[in-house]
Structure 1
Amino acid sequence: MGTWDSNKKLKMDSLLNTSFELFTSKGINQTSISDIVKKAGVAKGTFYLYFKDKYDIRNRLIARKSNQLFGVAYEELLKEDLHSIEDKIIFMMKHILVELSNNQMLLSLIYKDLSWALFKEAMSTNIDAGETDFLHIITQMFEESEVKYRNPELMMFLIVEMVSSAGYSSIIYKQPQPLDELIPELEYAVRGIMREYEIH
């Protein structure tokens, strides 16, 4: 990586890290672009080299943080002796939920926007070097699976939406159950969805 590319990455990382800190401490509506650039120590024009507005940086931040969550879960998955895609999806779901329960600031930022559509769009257009290519890994897992599914993308959309919404309520409000009690129920539901989508 050349000096210019290195400086560009440093500035973008600084903007993303600063926006995460401000969005989680003040809230996105109370955070201005001026707040972000001042705290990051860059010019306002620099912000617009990388992002259209604060919602663009929020979306990119959500994609990056979601990708990091997935990357850690995937690294842990590789240490396990799991063969079915169903077991792999369940393992990653549990790992990500536990990580979010241990980092509620991150959960507060991404929970409403932890959507398959936003994540897919952000990752397919903005993947950075060094980030896990989430979409490629998931696609490959389905392609290599002995069990085939009708419309796997729609199936994953339904699973992500259900798990993120139920997980948030459980972690933040302990409703309808605390997370340790909810996880077996989510596993049951995810397995049910995946089995309904199997092609026989």
Structure 2
Amino acid sequence: MGKVEENKKQKKDLLLKTAFRLFTEKGFSKTTISDIVQEAGLAKGTFYLYFQDKYDLRNELIVFKAGQLFDDAHRALETSHASGFEEELLFITDYIIDCFRSQHALMEFVAKNLSWGIFQNTVSDTGFLTSQKFYEHFLESMLKYGVHCDTPELMLFTIIELIGSTSYNCILYSQPVPIEEYLPYLHSILRQIIRIYTDEKI
């Protein structure tokens, strides 16, 4: 990456980082584009080099934060002692939930938006290569452990939607129960989902 491209990336990352802080502190509706560029120390015209409007920035920010989350989860998985397809997915689940439990601002912003559409954007965007590696690892893990699944994307879709919705409600509102109480049930459900989508008894 050349100096010009690196400079552009740094400015865009700064806008995303500043917007995330303001959105979580002031709220999305109360944050203006002027607030963002002023806090970032950039000219207002710079904003429109990267985003059409505040909503466009928010959508990219959701993908950006989700990408970071999968990036971190993938790196943690590589240094873990998880062995087996089911064990790896449960490790990823616990890692994401632990992040949400310790970072409520991240959870409020991402968890309710952690959908398949967001995940697809994350792994297909060349700006999030490690997240792409996470998805590739998911597919490679099935081969490694001899797990056959005709529809791996559907299985991952189901898992991601479940983690996002249950985390948001159980952590933020303790509804229907706190996440600590629900986690064993979530693990059991995830095991059943894996069995439904695969031909192997893991």
Alignment TM-score, normalising by the size of structure 2: 0.89
Contact preservation (8 Å) 1:149, 1:199: yes
Q: Which runs of 5+ in 1 are unaligned?
A: none
C-alpha distance 74-199 of structure 1, shift in aligned 2 (>3 A): same
Contact preservation (8 Å) 1:120, 1:135: no
Q: CA deviation at 1:35?
A: 1.8
Matches of 1:53 and 1:142, distance apart in 2: 41
Which amino acid in 1 is paired with 2:153? E
Q: Does 1:168 align with 2:184?
A: no
**Counterpart for residue 108 of structure 1:** 108
Q: CA deviation at 1:145?
A: 4.0
Matches of 1:84 and 1:170, distance apart in 2: 28
The aligned runs of 1:18-167 (5 Å cut-off) are: 18-128=18-128, 131-133=130-132, 134-167=134-167
Matches of 1:55 and 1:154, distance apart in 2: 28
Which amino acid in 2 is paired with 1:140? E
Cα deviation, 1:78-118, whole Å, max 9, x if unaligned, reads 22333322211111101110111000011111122111112
Q: CA deviation at 1:128?
A: 4.5
Which amino acid in 2 is paired with 1:154? L
Contact preservation (8 Å) 2:73, 2:95: yes
Percent of aligned pairs with the same residue? 40
**Counterpart for residue 17 of structure 1:** 17
Matches of 1:49 and 1:126, distance apart in 2: 19
C-alpha distance 123-55 of structure 1, shift in aligned 2 (>3 A): farther
Q: CA deviation at 1:143?
A: 4.4
Cα RMSD between the aligned structures?
1.9
Matches of 1:14 and 1:5, distance apart in 2: 14
Contact preservation (8 Å) 1:69, 1:96: yes
Which amino acid in 1 is paired with 2:56? D
Cα deviation, 1:140-184, whole Å, max 9, x if unaligned, reads 334444111131111111111111111111111122222222111
Contact preservation (8 Å) 1:77, 1:88: yes
Which amino acid in 1 is paired with 2:92? M
Matches of 1:126 and 1:33, distance apart in 2: 26
Which amino acid in 1 is paired with 2:150? R
Q: CA deviation at 1:197?
A: 0.8
Which deviates more from structure 2 when the two are superposed, residues 35-44 or residues 142-151?
A: 142-151
Alignment TM-score, normalising by the size of structure 1: 0.90
Matches of 2:21 and 2:169, distance apart in 1: 23
Q: CA deviation at 1:135?
A: 3.1
